[in-house]
Structure formats: C-alpha cells, structure tokens
Amino acid sequence: MARLELNILGCGSATTSLRHMPTCQVLNVRDQLFMIDCGEGAQLAMRRMKLKFSRLSHIFISHLHGDHCFGLLGLLSTLALQGKTGSVTVHTFQDGAQWLQQGMDYFCRERPYELKFNIITTRKAVIYEDDAITVTTIPLRHRVPAVGFLFAEKPKMRHIDAEAAKFHKVPLYAYNSLRQGLDWVDADGIVVPNAHLTKPAERAISYAYCSDTMLSRRVIKAVEGVDWLYHEATYGDECQRQARARYHSTATDAATVAHEAGAQQLIIGHFSNRYNDDTPLLEQAQRIFPATRLAYEGLKVDLNEL
C-alpha cells in the first residue's frame, strides 16, 4: 500500500451530471483516511472505492457551497449506523458547523462516535497535526469564504542499517539519535559518521488542494514548492470570462498556479458539466504545465511516486 494515496471520489462542479460526482477526495495517510470536501453521494463513492468508514476520522470542508458539503449528513449518519467508534472531526467554518450540528442532532441523535468540530477561518493556519502530517489552510479567492488545504508530511527519520550498527556496537538506546541524523561516538571516542550507520529517509511529500478559487497570487505563494497540486479547472480558455465572473479557474489558470509555484505535479478537476470530454482542458493545461493529469471518479494516485 502507498504511504500516501489520493483517491478522487468526485470531481464535478455545482451542476450535477452523469459524468462526474460532486467534489470529494480521500487522502489515505498510512491507512488513516482524511476526507476533503463531501459532495452528495460521497458515502457511496467511498463504498465504490473500497475505502473503510472505520478509518475515517477527519473531514475538511473547503467552503459552504452545496456541491462541497451536501454529502455530510448522509455520510455521518451511515458512520453511526455502521457503529463507528472514536471521534470524527469536521474542520469547517462556523456556519457549516452550526448547520451540520443541527442536522445531526435532529436526524442522527444517537451516535456511537463523538462528532467534533474544528472551526476554521480564512486566515492561513495549521488546523491539524499528528505524528505524520500537518494540515494548513490556504486562503482561496471565491464568492464565499473558502480555503484550500496543504497536507505536508513531516520530515522522515533516517533508517538504521542494522548490520552496520551492530558492527559498530551501537547500543539500542542510541538508535533514535541515529534516525535523527546524529553521528555515533563510541566508547573510545571514535566518531562513526551517521551516513555509515543509516540509510536516507524517504522524501516528505506535500499535497495541496485548491478548490474553488480563481487565479490568485496568494494561492501561488501558499503552495510554493508543493509536490502535488490539485487545482480546480472548472472551465476551458473559451470560458475565461465566465470563470472570472464566477470566481473559478480555467485549466490555463490551474497550470499557471502549478508552474509559478514550482509544483512537481498537477491534477485538475471540478469540471463544468458543459464538457462531455475533459481532454481539451488537459491539453490547455499541459501547454503551460506538462506534468498535468485529469481527475476522474475512481482515480487513485500514489503520491509517493513522483
């Protein structure tokens, strides 16, 4: 299994279609599932992609438009029916928390898990942290308050070369300092360089989710140097005016963000239902940023494979 795997559950936009589901993603971080947005039908899409409800504990909502949150009541009710324990934290704006709390208290009062809220704002902030990752909000530019989310793996520890450590008689208690990159000084005062005792850590990966937003300098700055960027590309170049008017992006806009931020890879999504084929959007993006791919329902991306 990938250490970090992105699952696309839905990558359509507000007006529904039979080609795409409304927005929802699940980031699998070593078998802990982080949901990003939760459009209508998210719970079914989880089943379709064989993502376990029991492993889902955090849901991040980018903004309070229906196509990004109307799946919450159904999903959270199903978690209750499935007997999920522990807690589920929904990271959302105050209004979203209030709406959801009221709905859940009416429709799903008996919950075997604890429903928690983490109230976020549009100011850039670290909103989640554990041993493996941090999640930081990215201020977006949309018609309503909206944020993206930057998931960043923490720097990894180096791996002990067991043979070498044994040869140099490094005691077990010192292994942690080796993992952190320190050299070993033995009883005779001889320094054994860390590089002789350990192997390099895996690269810490970062993933940024930016939807919905129009092209924005602040977004580019916030995702600078990111490995993987998901950026909305609701429209093609021919609809640039609509994109601006509705605070959305074109595929060219998305590619511009990836290019200027120095991202490694770009995934575009949130496609308008006017398109029966999204490849023209791909082509437009690739003119500026060749390492672009299209999101589609069911797509799994191993983010460790850069």
> Which parts of this chain interact with its own copies (CB under 8 A)?
14-18, 22, 40-41, 43-44, 47-48, 64-66, 70-71, 73-74, 77-78, 81-82, 95, 99, 102-103, 106-108
CB of 25 to its own copies, least distance (A): 18
C-alpha triplet 180, 198, 1: angle, nearest 5°: 85
Given the residues 37, 67, 212, 253, select the one marked as catalytic. Answer: 67
For tokens 């959302």, the residue is: 92
Q: In the chain, where does DSSP find H-type helix? A: 42-48, 72-81, 94-107, 162-167, 175-179, 194-197, 217-222, 240-245, 251-261, 279-288
Q: What is the Cα Rg of the chain in Å?
A: 22
Is 188 an annotated catalytic residue? no
CA-to-CA distance for 61 and 76, rounded, in angstroms? 14
Nearer to its own copies, 37 or 227 (CB): 37
CB of 216 to its own copies, least distance (A): 24
Among residues 145, 153, 29, 35, the alpha carbon closest in space to that of 89 is found at 35
CB of 306 to its own copies, least distance (A): 33
CB of 76 to its own copies, least distance (A): 9
Contacts of 275 (CB under 8 A, 6+ apart): 19, 236, 281
3-state secondary structure of 110: coil
CA-to-CA distance for 233 and 11, rounded, in angstroms? 10
CB 33 within 8 A of CB 60: no
CB of 269 to its own copies, least distance (A): 18
CA-to-CA distance for 248 and 271, rounded, in angstroms? 10
Nearer to its own copies, 41 or 255 (CB): 41
Nearer to its own copies, 117 or 175 (CB): 117
Give the pairing of strands 300-302 and 56-60: unpaired
Nearer to its own copies, 144 or 162 (CB): 144
Nearer to its own copies, 43 or 216 (CB): 43
Which residues belong to the active site? Answer: 67
